[in-house]
Amino acid sequence: MAEKVEALRRGEVPIHEPGLAELVQRNAERLHFTLEMREVLEPARLLFCCVDTPPTVSGDADLSHVHSVVDDLGDSTEHALVMKSTVPVGTGRAVSRRRAAIGYAANPEFLKEGNAVDDFMRPDRVVIGVDESANSVLGDRVEALYRPLEAEFVRTDVASAEMIKLASNAFLATKISFINEIANVSEEVGADVAEVARGMGLDDRIGPQFLRPGIGYGGSCFPKDVSALKQLAGNSGYHFQLLTSVIEVNEMQKRRTIGKLQRHLGSLVGREIALLGLAFKPDTDDVREATSLVLAGRLQGEGARVRAYDPVAGPAARDALGEARVCDSALEALDGADAAVLVTEWPEFAELDWEGEVRRRMATPLVVDGRNFLDAGRLRAAGFSYEGVGR
């Protein structure tokens, strides 16, 4: 952590997030990075809590970082905690019980990795939850901070604000699992899921977003938040049946690629499989809950040899990849490969010379496109066997 703070002081942002470094540099004079709580408490009155809440073994959210922030706050009557971290419903109430003197507002974030700066500047909505017992002036103060963004404000109670966050992520994950199942059925009955999603998405009530089928959702948010909401429901005595299926469909989806490879190659023992992309989505180096890691593990379990390439996430993934080889370029990964599996839709993969260099280098011209990202017609015309998702 100390190293990260040092890097930030130098104006370097130690994560891959488009536009963030420029933002930090532009505002360098107004930003102060420190590991000392008292240096924060002295000048500031609104304290935004943005620590992570990773999943525990049980699927509940691990709140230890939130608790340590709360412990460090003391009992000031002058400060208010604004919770941006994603927390289970009930956290605000529990914090307020422990630190009655401190004001509390729930202010969940809806930023997508890789697009976080833009999402922050142009939010669909800003949700602010304060409890009636607390001073509603606190809600006004938080709202005033966001007013320049001209966003739609949702003012509500703390528990509802907490639920809006979890329900939004769970709903988006549900949309993805739904379209993935439609894709799987489409493969059986000869429909093209891209056409189906387009036709569905034009209905305003459905909307076109998050209807891209693929090899399962990953990242530090959806898997964690869907489980957290399911556990939260379970802990309160309600079995959230739909989310149980959403999770199961996602797990199955990650593994379907293996079957597709086996259909073409038979046994995978000794086969060389190239994974194109490791990050859970493009424009980030994040490999938390990335499908690439599950795939690499399953492929190695089947006896295949895995080589992988990602333009930025190689170092982050290396430890979790076991025996797999992390390559310095897509061509190195594809050299002599029996199949290429496109895991992350980085633009550079579409720009490869598939007809020429790639075709010459691969031992077997087989492409499993986990994101329907490549031009199927072009690849087939170049002699590749091409398998997409749901088409």
The CB-of-169 to ligand UGA minimum distance in angstroms stands at 5
The CB-of-63 to ligand UGA minimum distance in angstroms stands at 16
Asked if residue 283 binds ligand UGA (CB under 6 A), the reply is no
The CB-of-109 to ligand UGA minimum distance in angstroms stands at 5
Is there a contact between 304 and 337 (Cβ–Cβ < 8 Å)? no
* Pick from 115, 122, 113: nearest CA to 286: 113
Which of the stretches 27-35, 109-117, 228-236, 335-343 binds ligand UGA when contact is defined by CB under 6 A?
109-117
Asked if residue 211 binds ligand UGA (CB under 6 A), the reply is yes
* Pick from 74, 63, 75, 139: nearest CA to 104: 139
Which of the stretches 25-33, 62-70, 219-227, 313-321 binds ligand UGA when contact is defined by CB under 6 A?
219-227
Asked if residue 254 binds ligand UGA (CB under 6 A), the reply is no
Which of the stretches 23-31, 44-52, 169-177, 183-191 binds ligand UGA when contact is defined by CB under 6 A?
169-177
Name the maximum alpha-carbon separation found in the chain.
71
Asked if residue 217 binds ligand UGA (CB under 6 A), the reply is yes
Which residues make Cβ contacts (< 8 Å) with residue 221, sequence separation at least 6?
A: 86, 169
Asked if residue 102 binds ligand UGA (CB under 6 A), the reply is no
Residue listed under structure tokens 């412990």: 71
- Residue 229 or residue 362: which is nearer to ligand UGA going by CB? 229
Q: Among 48, 120, 153, 210, indicate the residue that binds ligand UGA (CB under 6 A).
A: 210
The CB-of-155 to ligand UGA minimum distance in angstroms stands at 20
Q: Among 104, 110, 349, 384, indicate the residue that binds ligand UGA (CB under 6 A).
A: 110
Is there a contact between 286 and 220 (Cβ–Cβ < 8 Å)? yes
The CB-of-186 to ligand UGA minimum distance in angstroms stands at 15
* Pick from 51, 89, 67: nearest CA to 170: 89
Where does the chain have alpha helices with state H?
2-9, 20-26, 37-41, 64-73, 91-98, 116-121, 136-146, 158-189, 193-201, 222-235, 241-265, 291-301, 314-317, 330-334, 347-350, 359-361, 376-381
The CB-of-95 to ligand UGA minimum distance in angstroms stands at 20
Q: Which of the residues 49, 50, 221, 327 is marked catalytic?
A: 221
Asked if residue 317 binds ligand UGA (CB under 6 A), the reply is no
* Alpha carbon distance 9, 76 (integer Å): 28
Assess whether 50 carries a catalytic annotation.
no
Site string for ligand UGA, 221-240 (x = CB under 6 A): xx--x---------------
Q: Among 86, 174, 292, 372, indicate the residue that binds ligand UGA (CB under 6 A).
A: 86
Asked if residue 388 binds ligand UGA (CB under 6 A), the reply is no
Where does 14-63 have alpha helices with state H?
20-26, 37-41
Asked if residue 103 binds ligand UGA (CB under 6 A), the reply is no
Asked if residue 107 binds ligand UGA (CB under 6 A), the reply is no
* Alpha carbon distance 309, 311 (integer Å): 7
Q: Among 280, 354, 384, 386, indicate the residue that binds ligand UGA (CB under 6 A).
A: 280
* Pick from 136, 142, 161, 135: nearest CA to 45: 142
Which residues make Cβ contacts (< 8 Å) with residue 246, sequence separation at least 6?
A: 170, 173, 174, 177, 226
* Local structure of 80: helix, strand or coil: strand
CB neighbours (10 Å) of residue 113? Answer: 22
Q: Among 169, 227, 231, 372, indicate the residue that binds ligand UGA (CB under 6 A).
A: 169
How many residues make contact with ligand UGA (CB under 6 A)? 21
Is there a contact between 75 and 110 (Cβ–Cβ < 8 Å)? no
- Residue 219 or residue 314: which is nearer to ligand UGA going by CB? 219
- Residue 109 or residue 310: which is nearer to ligand UGA going by CB? 109
The dihedral through the CA atoms of 286, 273, 384, 190 has a sign that is: negative
The CB-of-100 to ligand UGA minimum distance in angstroms stands at 29
Asked if residue 299 binds ligand UGA (CB under 6 A), the reply is no
Residues with a known catalytic role: 221
Give the interface with ligand UGA as residue ranges (CB under 6 A).
86, 109-113, 169, 172, 176, 210-212, 214, 217-219, 221-222, 225, 280-281
